[in-house]
Amino acid sequence: EAGVTQFPSHSVIEKGQTVTLRCDPISGHDNLYWYRRVMGKEIKFLLHFVKESKQDESGMPNNRFLAERTGGTYSTLKVQPAELEDSGVYFCASSHNAGNEKLFFGSGTQLSVL
Amino acid sequence: DQQVKQNSPSLSVQEGRISILNCDYTNSMFDYFLWYKKYPAEGPTFLISISSIKDKNEDGRFTVFLNKSAKHLSLHIVPSQPGDSAVYFCAAVSGTYKYIFGTGTRLKVLA
């Protein structure tokens, strides 16, 4: 069984450009989460999908970030326009149920905004 | 406002000895707690969890203790091995299903 896959693994862009991150959760997992870690800080919650619906997007920093999960399968996280403070590692995680079940994480996308 | 806190950024332990990693939380609604291990350039991997109805859960060399009155949990690794060297994150979740993670503790097990 394939794990959570994220693409790309690294992205280097200039301030003002647009970047789209992709996450493919484990097949059959209805719950999909996006997290971000800035070096030395916590793994910070961004948002949570249940199937194609946004269950909780309270962690999204601002309206430059847009997450979608059309069809309830893979998800994309677009940052437009990117700012320097958006740099960090973006992790995607999935689970079958929510709340009392472990999350399975992808390897992350290292985003560097120059 | 940090709801899950790991106050020790790093810890060094001799191989074969016990490693104790600590985590404090502020939200009394959390009812499920998890520990994750993270190696460089990899995503966090699940290690062990505990429900709020228990105070201890053991899996091989790993034991998690939960003290609800103190809002504190700890991870014990016995005996510690060099392969255990990694960053350890504690996480907590409540019925809102938002898993909250701490800042991590870097464990170094010295051979």
User: Residues A51, A54, A55, CA angle at the centre, nearest 5°?
Assistant: 90
Q: State the pairing for strand pair B10-14/B105-110.
A: parallel
Picking from B36, B49, B96, the nearest residue to A56 by CB comes out as: B96
Cα B97 to Cα B91: distance, rounded to the nearest angstrom: 12
Report yes or no: B15 at the A interface, CB cutoff 8 Å.
Answer: no
Contacts of B4 in chain A (CB under 8 A): 42
Cα B66 to Cα B54: distance, rounded to the nearest angstrom: 7
pLDDT digits (tens, 9 = 90+) for B16-74: 999 999 999 999 999 999 999 999 999 999 999 999 999 999 999 999 999 999 999 99
pLDDT digits (tens, 9 = 90+) for A65-95: 999 998 889 999 999 999 999 999 999 999 9
Position A100 pLDDT exceeds 90:
no
Radius of gyration of chain A (CA): 13
Closest CA relative to residue B52, chosen from B34, B75, B77: B34
Position B95 pLDDT exceeds 80:
no
pLDDT digits (tens, 9 = 90+) for A38-67: 988 899 999 999 999 999 999 999 999 999
Residue B68 distance to chain A (closest CA, Å): 17
